[in-house]
């Protein structure tokens, strides 16, 4: 959720952000009108409450005087005081019923205001490209795709390679769970462990604190992280338990300091987690139906940072550096793109994707991404710090970055490192987790 102060003070900046995202910029004026309505109703309720308190005290005073006059035998005075208190009650046009109605109107207006505020995506950072999925800006290309034709190799896709090596079983995955499910077997499973192990090793070297996070979370946490807005149809829900299956450990990491005041005096708090993730892949009908690139269940190692808002851009660059470190270790050709505003998703103010070359498709595909969510998530989740410039508290910034999933890097590894004899070369960085193996072969040796 964006800061209402920003919307009040600089509505054109929010309108510009909405237009860049391809969203409705008239929503800004609708929210400002609702904000005025809420503030007017709140003022009315508060003034009515104050008037009610004044009248109640005055009536109480008159009734008390009437009782004392009655005890003193001054019946005429007692009757006069009681008549005055009754007249005051009769003339009270803002009685309990009117106050109740005003409070009800305020509650409805506040509910509508909050609903509309959640429709506004995070205000993008200056420099983010305008447009949709294809309107990204290329920041850098790293490495050169192999010339398989020059090597005399007919390129095989990851399904053919994985099946021949006996490490991917799609048929049994579909039989047991349906489409977009799979088994990783033998070296396939070891390759997953190797990827996650490499990520956790690098995360430890980079000073990230490892966490084991819940894969099931409450609606408050899922909504706070920004996954129940425009992408709610991607989320698996368990209505009987009022819980949601997370599609990334980002959700559990974002909720770790829910409703807390955290200490950032020694610098950002950096966490990492490896977890099983679940996505419905709604709206992806016909996309990547072959193989394990786009699946419903996968392992993922995620980085997450809490920092001061002024440090967010530097932390974003640091997360990208770490992601590049992993891709370099996997010896994959890749490119870095600055994602266009219309493809950011609600919480992100800026996102960088790292896309690896997939030889069988002859194009780059997303392997990792890192997002600067500024104060958007933390505001929803009530995560603050003591304001270093004064008294009180302020909302912190959050950022996230994918180190690796299990499936997409396996796709890229198998295809980019395939050999003429059907084996797949193992990058040096993964060999310690694979018993020092230099190649994956059908014999498993």
pLDDT at position 289, please?
78
pLDDT at position 47, please?
83
pLDDT at position 90, please?
64
What are the φ and ψ backbone dihedral angles of 222, each rounded to 5 degrees?
-65, -45
Distance CA 445, CA 442 (A): 8
pLDDT at position 241, please?
95
CATH class of the domain comprising 133-440:
alpha beta
pLDDT at position 229, please?
79
Distance CA 167, CA 190 (A): 9
Distance CA 412, CA 432 (A): 20
pLDDT at position 91, please?
64
What are the φ and ψ backbone dihedral angles of 24, each rounded to 5 degrees?
-75, 110
* DSSP-based three-state secondary structure for 406: coil
pLDDT at position 334, please?
98
What are the φ and ψ backbone dihedral angles of 363, each rounded to 5 degrees?
-160, 165
Task: Show the tokens assigned to 213.
Answer: 């996070």
Distance CA 442, CA 160 (A): 12
pLDDT at position 357, please?
98
Give the catalytic positions in this structure.
Answer: 279, 294, 366, 369, 408
Identify the residue whose tokens are 């974003």: 316
Identify the residue whose tokens are 């020694």: 266
Half-sphere exposure of 429 (CA within 13 A, CB side): 17
Q: Under a CB-based contact definition with an 8 Å cutoff, are residues 155 and 148 in contact?
A: yes
281-287 long-range contacts (CB < 8 A, ≥24 apart) are: 281/180, 281/234, 282/233, 282/234, 283/233, 283/234
Distance CA 367, CA 407 (A): 9
Q: At what angle do helices 27-71 and 75-90 cross, to 10 degrees?
A: 170
Pairing of strands 261-262, 384-386: parallel
Q: Residue 259, Cα to own-chain centre: how many angstroms? A: 16
> What residue ranges do the domains of the chain occupy?
24-117, 133-440
Give the pLDDT of the chain (445 residues) as one tens digit per residue.
789 999 999 999 999 999 999 999 999 999 999 999 999 999 988 887 777 777 777 767 777 877 887 787 777 777 776 776 677 666 665 556 677 888 899 999 999 999 999 899 999 999 999 999 999 999 999 999 999 999 999 999 999 999 999 999 999 999 999 999 999 999 999 999 999 999 999 999 999 999 999 999 999 999 999 998 767 888 999 999 999 999 999 999 999 999 999 999 999 999 999 999 999 987 677 787 799 999 999 999 999 999 999 999 999 999 999 999 999 999 999 999 999 999 998 999 999 999 999 999 999 999 999 999 999 999 999 999 999 888 899 999 999 999 999 999 999 999 999 999 999 999 999 999 999 999 999 876 5
**CA angle (197 as vertex; 195, 198 as ends), nearest 5:** 65
pLDDT at position 443, please?
74
């Amino acid at each position: 959720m964006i800061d209402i102060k920003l919307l009040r003070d600089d509505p054109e900046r929010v309108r510009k952000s909405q237009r860049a995202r391809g969203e409705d910029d008239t929503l800004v004026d609708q929210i400002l009108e609702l904000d005025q309505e809420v503030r007017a109703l709140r003022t009315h309720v508060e003034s009515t409450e104050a008037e009610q308190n004044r009248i109640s005290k005055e009536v109480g005073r008159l009734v008390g005087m009437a009782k004392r006059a009655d005890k003193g035998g001054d019946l005429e005075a007692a009757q006069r005081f009681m008549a005055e208190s009754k007249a005051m009650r009769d003339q009270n046009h803002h009685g309990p019923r009117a106050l109740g109605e005003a409070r009800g109107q305020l509650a409805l207006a506040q509910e509508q205001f909050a609903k509309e505020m959640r429709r506004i995506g995070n205000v993008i950072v200056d420099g983010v490209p305008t447009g949709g999925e294809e309107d990204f800006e290329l920041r850098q290309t790293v490495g050169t795709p192999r010339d398989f034709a020059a090597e005399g190799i007919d390129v095989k896709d990851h399904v053919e390679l994985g099946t021949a090596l006996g490490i991917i079983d799609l048929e049994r995955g579909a039989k047991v769970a349906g489409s977009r499910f799979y088994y990783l077997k033998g070296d396939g499973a070891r390759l997953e462990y190797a990827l996650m192990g490499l990520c956790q090793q690098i995360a430890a070297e980079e000073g990230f604190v490892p966490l084991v996070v819940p894969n099931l979370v409450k609606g408050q946490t899922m909504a706070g992280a920004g996954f129940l807005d425009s992408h709610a149809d991607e989320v698996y829900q368990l209505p009987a338990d009022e819980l949601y299956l997370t599609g990334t450990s980002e959700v559990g990491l974002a909720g770790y300091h829910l409703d807390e005041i955290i200490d950032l005096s020694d610098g950002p708090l950096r966490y990492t987690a490896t977890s099983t993730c679940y996505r419905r892949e709604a709206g992806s009908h016909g996309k990547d139906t072959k193989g394990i690139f786009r699946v419903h269940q996968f392992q993922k190692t995620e980085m997450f940072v809490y920092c001061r808002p002024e440090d967010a851009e530097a932390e974003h660059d640091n997360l990208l550096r770490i992601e590049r470190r992993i891709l370099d270790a996997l010896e994959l050709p890749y490119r870095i793109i600055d994602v266009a505003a219309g493809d950011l998703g609600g919480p992100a103010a800026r996102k960088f994707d790292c896309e690896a070359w997939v030889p069988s498709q002859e194009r780059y595909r997303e392997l990792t991404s890192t997002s600067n969510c500024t104060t958007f998530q933390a505001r929803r989740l009530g995560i603050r710090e003591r304001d270093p410039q004064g008294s009180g508290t302020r909302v912190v910034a959050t950022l996230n970055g994918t180190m690796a999933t299990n499936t997409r890097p396996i796709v890229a590894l198998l295809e980019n490192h395939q050999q003429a004899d059907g084996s797949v070369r193992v990058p040096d960085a993964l060999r310690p987790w694979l018993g020092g193996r230099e190649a994956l072969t059908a014999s498993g040796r």
